Amino acid sequence: MSEMKNYTLNFGPQHPAAHGVLRLILELDGEVVERADPHIGLLHRGTEKLAESKPYNQSIGYMDRLDYVSMMCNEHAYVMGIEKMLGIKVPERAEYIRVMFDEITRIMNHLMWVGTHGLDVGAMSVFLYAFRERESLIDCYEAVSGSRMHATYYRPGGVYRDLPDKMPQYLESKLRSKEKLEEINENRQGSLLDFIDDFAKNFPKSIQQYSDLLTDNRIWKQRLVNIAIVSPERAMQLGFTGAMLRGSGIEWDIRKNEPYSVYDKLDFEIPVGVTGDCYDRYLVRMEEMRQSTHIINQCVAWLKENPGPVMSDDHKVTPPDREDMKGDMESLIHHFKLFTEGYCLPEGESYTAVEAPKGEFGVYLVSDGANKPYRVKIRAPGFAHLAAMDEMAKGHMLSDVVTIIGSQDIVFGEVDR
């Protein structure tokens, strides 16, 4: 009888559970994974090289396209890096809007994650419920920026424009009756803030619904508990951040430890896991959604009370008012200079990190004093997480690989850049 050899399996790049274009070379002994070698770069677009050839403002849109399910958080890191080097101050209202949208983005990301993670593991229905709620949040994106995904809403000096007074409504259509139309437009009668307020009031119920479907579900637990346990020491060695690090029991959150924007004025808590398995990471992310809702509530309350500017009036960096340009020579010059040449950052370098939904998203900017960055390095959380794939999958079954990919919350836009 011939000797049985290890079996090599090509997983992806078009496997639906690969969350994009992951090519995984798995060495299997029977059904047990001996070695996992992820091949990445199939979505490499050269964002860093492209950013070097453009004025600073023109690269904000690229940040959306990195981690394309947590768009505004990426923008936040990039924009904050520029502001730090320029030394400009952002109006407080803009900071609150940013924090509110960061948290909306976090919920959006986690909804996407819980949906697809459930789908991978075999729980179809969560996906449908999660996407129902996600739709409302995408509508908030659209209301504020005009775009449902790639918003380019944060700008150095603030945000592009103030929150709209009116939430867009569904129009009449052959496809829906009058009663149905009134029903779906019911929470869209007021401003965007009213809509978000309404969402945040109802969302805890939805989270409870997902929890009911999953948390005590026997199959869910069989698939997640004790899968890919990472000890706290290993988690740090492997460069984990975000929910992956907290799932292993290390209380580290940039929002708390190095508060940026207005996070130091808000009340929220950081969930931490105990064993560091996939189930803990699931619980941590679920709790994060509840905490995000809490933060959104506080931001909505503050924003309703405090009107004001949302963009810095330093017109070397931010565009002047269109009306001023008609009569004011200086505004016209500022506008012309800003849109033809951009602005120059002082020579130096900075590393700015934010707590993106997936972990620490950092931007390392090097400027030689020009209107374009000399070097932009994007530190994507998913990159370090995926690098740990081999260690996490070793000794587990083939079907667990799918659970691990889901638990890492991988998005290829940011891994490949």
Partner 1 sequence: MKELKQKLSKAFGKKNVSESLNELTLTINSEDVIEVCQKLKDEFQFEILMDLCGIDYLTYGESDWNGNASSSGFGRARQAQKSTSQKDQRFGVVYHILSVSNNQRLRVKALLSSENLMIQSVTKIWNCADWFEREAFDLFGILFENHNDLRRILTDYGFVGHPLRKDFPMIGEVEMRYDEELGRVVYEPVSIEPNVNVPRVIRK
CA angle 405, 411, 417 (to 5 degrees): 130
- Contact, 342 vs 56, CB < 8 A? yes
Contact status, residue 187 vs residue 198, Cβ threshold 8 Å: yes
CB 400 within 8 Å of CB 227:
yes
Of 356, 373, 363, nearest to 417 by C-alpha is 363
In the complex, minimum distance from the CB of residue 69 to partner 1, in angstroms, rounded to a whole number: 21
CA gap 271, 250 in Å, rounded: 10
Q: If residue 85 lies in a helix (H) or strand (E), which one and from where to where?
A: helix 71-86
Range 382-411, binding partner 1 (CB under 8 A):
383-384, 386-388
Q: Which is nearer to partner 1, 188 or 372 (CB)?
A: 372
Nearer to partner 1 by Cβ, of 39 and 180: the residue is 39
Are 184 and 168 contacting, i.e. CB atoms less than 8 angstroms apart? no
Q: What is the closest distance, in whole angstroms, from the C-beta atom of residue 333 to partner 1 in the complex?
A: 14
Pairing between strand 23-29 and 32-39? antiparallel
x/- track of binding to partner 1 for residues 208-237 (CB under 8 A)? ----------------------------xx
Cα distances (Å, whole numbers) of residue 40 to 26, 80, 337, 380, 398: 14, 29, 40, 14, 19
Measured CA to CA, the distance from residue 198 to residue 206 in angstroms comes to 13
Q: Which stretch binds partner 1 (CB under 8 A): 207-215, 270-278, 279-287, 360-368?
A: 360-368
Q: Which of 176, 290, 377, 394 binds partner 1 (CB under 8 A)?
A: 377
Per CB under 8 A, 8 contacts partner 1: no
Q: Under rule CB under 8 A, which residues in 326-355 are in contact with partner 1? A: 340-342, 344, 348-351, 353
In the shown chain, the binding pattern of residues 250 to 279 toward partner 1, with x for contact by CB under 8 A and - for none, equals: x-x----xx---------------------
Among 19, 84, 155, 188, binds partner 1 (CB under 8 A): 84
Asked if 310 contacts 93 with a C-beta cutoff of 8 angstroms, the reply is: yes
Residue closer to partner 1, measured from CB, 202 or 257: 257
> Between 219 and 274, whose beta carbon lies closer to partner 1?
274
The only residue of 91, 239, 249, 319 in contact with partner 1, by rule CB under 8 A = 239
SS3 4: coil
Q: Is residue 85 part of the contact set for partner 1 (CB under 8 A)?
A: yes
Binding residues for partner 1 (CB under 8 A): 40-41, 44, 46, 48-50, 53-55, 58, 84-85, 236-239, 241, 250, 252, 257-258, 340-342, 344, 348-351, 353, 360, 362, 364, 366, 368-372, 374-375, 377, 379, 383-384, 386-388, 416-417
